[in-house]
């Protein structure tokens, strides 16, 4: 495969992780979109520096990190925002989470296969279709409190399952 094709494929494949990292670092959707566009532009300009035998995501996250810091530096001139040391800590945590995302998604898919269909229906109504607790309760003939309680238990079980799968992978 042509190196530019490989670069473009990797850039496209990792947009979700880049966006997640930037959003976690900034906490603001519109600013995150701007920084993601800047990051993509810088990555595109540096495409010739990318080695196809190297891992793309850590390299791209490093570029994104500098773009986040540059954005915050520029914004700091306008008004008071996070201290740069706090931003560094947040960026470290977000970068770690972004690199773990593919493993977590695989674990989530595996764990979702174990969820009973009636519970999957609740999850889909709430998180895929974005319905409120009240709407989910009405659609399923439950009370608001029972929907809240059941969703909490489902999320807790999924979280435990995901952590178990990740622990098994690291062993």
Q: Is the pLDDT of residue 155 over 60?
A: yes
User: Which whole number is the average pLDDT over 40-67?
Assistant: 87
Same domain, 78 and 133: no
C-alpha dihedral over 47, 17, 103, 120, to 10 degrees? -140
Same domain, 144 and 170: yes
Q: Is the pLDDT of residue 104 over 90?
A: no
Q: Is the pLDDT of residue 129 over 90?
A: no
Q: Is the pLDDT of residue 36 over 80?
A: yes
User: How many domains does the structure of the chain reveal?
Assistant: 2
**For position 3, what pLDDT does the model report?**
63
Q: Is the pLDDT of residue 57 over 90?
A: no
Tell me the pLDDT band of 166, cut-offs 50, 70 and 90.
confident
User: Which whole number is the average pLDDT over 48-72?
Assistant: 86
| Residue 162 belongs to domain spanning | 114-171
Tell me the pLDDT band of 79, cut-offs 50, 70 and 90.
low
Q: In the 8-state DSSP scheme, what is residue 54? A: S
**Helix, strand, coil tally for the chain in percent (to 5):** 85, 0, 15
Same domain, 90 and 41: yes
Q: Determine how many CB atoms are found less than 10 A away from the CB of residue 3.
A: 12
For residues 76 and 10, is the Cβ–Cβ distance under 8 A? no
User: Which whole number is the average pLDDT over 33-52?
Assistant: 90
State the alpha helices, DSSP H only, in the chain. Answer: 3-13, 15-26, 29-45, 56-78, 84-112, 117-123, 133-140, 144-170
Q: Is the pLDDT of residue 162 over 60?
A: yes
Same domain, 121 and 167: yes
**For position 143, what pLDDT does the model report?**
94
Q: Determine how many CB atoms are found less than 10 A away from the CB of residue 75.
A: 14
Which is more confidently placed, 170 or 43? 43
Give Dmax over CA atoms of the chain in angstroms.
58
- Domain end among 101, 131, 162: 101
Mean residue pLDDT of the chain comes to 85
Which is more confidently placed, 75 or 17? 17
- Residue 170 phi, psi dihedral angles, 5° rounding: -80, -15
Same domain, 150 and 91: no
C-alpha dihedral over 133, 124, 106, 98, to 10 degrees? -50
Same domain, 162 and 81: no
Q: Per the structure block, which two tokens stand in for 161? A: 């399952």
Same domain, 23 and 88: yes
């Amino acid at each position: 495969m042509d190196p530019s094709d490989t670069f473009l494929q990797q850039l496209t494949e990792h947009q979700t992780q880049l966006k997640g990292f930037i959003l976690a670092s900034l906490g603001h959707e519109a600013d995150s979109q701007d920084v993601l566009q800047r990051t993509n532009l810088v990555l595109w300009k540096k495409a010739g520096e990318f080695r196809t035998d190297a891992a793309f995501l850590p390299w791209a996250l490093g570029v994104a990190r500098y773009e986040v810091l540059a954005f915050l530096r520029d914004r700091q001139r306008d008004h008071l925002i996070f201290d740069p040391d706090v931003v560094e800590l947040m960026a470290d945590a977000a970068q770690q989470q972004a690199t773990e995302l593919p493993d977590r998604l695989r674990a989530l898919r595996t764990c979702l296969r174990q969820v009973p269909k009636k519970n999957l229906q609740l999850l889909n109504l709430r998180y895929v279709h974005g319905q409120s607790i009240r709407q989910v309760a009405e659609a399923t003939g439950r009370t608001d409190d029972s929907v809240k309680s059941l969703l909490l238990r489902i999320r807790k079980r999924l979280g435990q399952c995901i952590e178990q799968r990740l622990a098994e992978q690291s062993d």
